[in-house]
Structure 1
Amino acid sequence: MAPADENNHIEVDEAAEMDDEAYGDNDESTLSTSLSSSILAYRMENGRRYHAYKAGSYPFPNDEIENDRLDMQHAVFLRSLDGRLCLCPIKEGIQNVLDVGTGTGVWALDFADEHPSAQIIGTDLSPIQPSLVPPNLSFLIDDAEAEWQFHQKFDLVHGRMMTGSLKDWDRFYTQCYNNLQPGGYVEMQDICLPLKSDDGTLTPDHALDKWSRLCLEACEKLERPLDVAKSHKRRMEEAGFVDVVEVIYKWPQNSWAKDRKLKEIGNWTMTNMLEGLQALSIGPFTRGLGWSLEQVEAFLIDVRNDVKNRKLHVYWPMYFVYGRKPESNEKI
């Protein structure tokens, strides 16, 4: 699928709008650290499980429901990129790769399988990764906002869906730069709120639009912005990266698009959203906006209806941004 220019509109499948009844509710590692009980512990909040290590740093849960959703979300990324794991050039014989915010470790697992000669490290705040992994993959429980203390330099630093995870993105990119080999790449793959519709079918009166903007407001108060993806390119360049490339895809919210591939991505995105809506909302809304759990659940009823409404031609802006650390003798 070619990347979507922000000015290019996705063609609407008008027949899909006539068949909304077809969508019911049913459509919807080895740990390399010495893990203390505090790192392995979990914390329950509003019926969902959250990480206890550096509690509150990440506003979304890490329970089995969310982990299954993250694995499904990986399939959407693969479909969008035609099976590729990243867009940046991968040199032959790549040696060391860091996957920051690895989550369930599914991206790192695939990369390790594709590049058996490379050593992959996946880091995350939560110990939710599998224990049976390829010999060239290891997982660390680590805080990406702390000082990085790796002994090796990397050829690639990868991060996916890190929006809402960090406070100081400039420091993050400085650490990426300092921990890369000359000629190495950093690549970020991220959503960027608010949700959009090019034809105005999503209006401020819709619950989905309100949800999108309330998420922005809540995470801004938590100092974990959800629109940081639009600044990835600038921040990479300011950190010293060159040849920075920004590619923006449009992921339809459901199957409203006419294009077959976009329709498929839309179906996956809808399922992903319906299964993850509570997880994405409870932490930010209760912590950032002071809502009660009951208020959140009541509000999400209308949001779910909008998610499934194919008359709303909504899409998620998906940013893929990568940059290269200059060679030591390269003139800039």
Structure 2
Amino acid sequence: MSVNGGDDDGVVEQEGLLGRYVRYGELLGRGRFKAVYRGFDEKQGTDVAWAKIDGNENDLTKEEMEQVLREVEDGQKLKHDNIIKYHLAWLDYDAHCINFITELFTSGNLRDYRMKHKHLGMKAIRKWGKQLLAGLEYLHNQDDGPLIHGDLRCDKIYINGHTGDIKIGDLGLSTLLERRYREKAESGDYSNLVQANKIMADVYCFGLCMLELMTLEPLDPTKQPQLDELLESVAKTPVAYNFVKRCLVNEGRTPTAAELMADEFFTRPEEEERKESSSMSRSKSQTLRSSMDLQGVGGGDSEADQDFSSDLNKTLGSLKGDQFQFRVEG
């Protein structure tokens, strides 16, 4: 069967229950439990994401499949600007497969997008962080009690590259999540937090996402190599360092998403950050100048020395605030 639009040859691989959605053969991505294909909404004329969870490949019983379906259907009730929209879900008993359809973000996930755009200012990271917290605040304040994502990672967050808007995806799969953590013994205390339905787990994952955006180092809540070193690598921007540490280091009560949105990382005026960075640059310049004078380099107030000092200040001045690119080499 052929349609106008979709993938290159327009061949439909599957039709939805209501006849509104069709799935093409183009594979958009594959995770631990599901494969995601490009689909099409024939009523709205828009692309969608069509996910399939194969019960045979994942060794899921009929009862487990039905539980996963209920969880996915619960995701359809969520309505928030920073949460992926779920359109339709059903269980194909004959194929032993769950199908569910969501909105599609053509710029892909935030991890791949960040790796593609390596030179990124803190202003963009703050914007994304605030959107993530808005989504988490919504999830954690449901009428029936907190809804815990439990596996928030940058590759489960999706971005519209034209607007910078991001949405949290892969919600409502706690049955599969428990299996994932059982398979990863190194997840330790973190898996216990998730299974105990703790908000702390999502706050911790959020902190890892922010650290990944700052350092370009992919992080997983079940495995965090050199986490202390990564955290120290952002210490040159104290406001960012203190914010991420607040999420990752348990020093008593876990902050809520709303409390984190009120952190000075978001509220502190950028002009104040620029002033602090400029002051630090002048201090470095003066220290270097004094050291050079002690070593007999330069002639005090000579014209040549003044030119050198001017060039040095320009160089140091280029390292202001939002222009730092956080990266871990090696």
Fold match (TM-score > 0.5): no
**Range into which the TM-score falls when normalised by the shorter chain:** under 0.3
Mark the structure with the bigger radius of gyration: 2
> Relative contact order: is structure 1 or structure 2 higher (C-alpha 8 Å, sep ≥ 6)?
1
Normalising by structure 1, report the TM-score: 0.24
Q: Point out the structure with the larger helix share.
A: 2
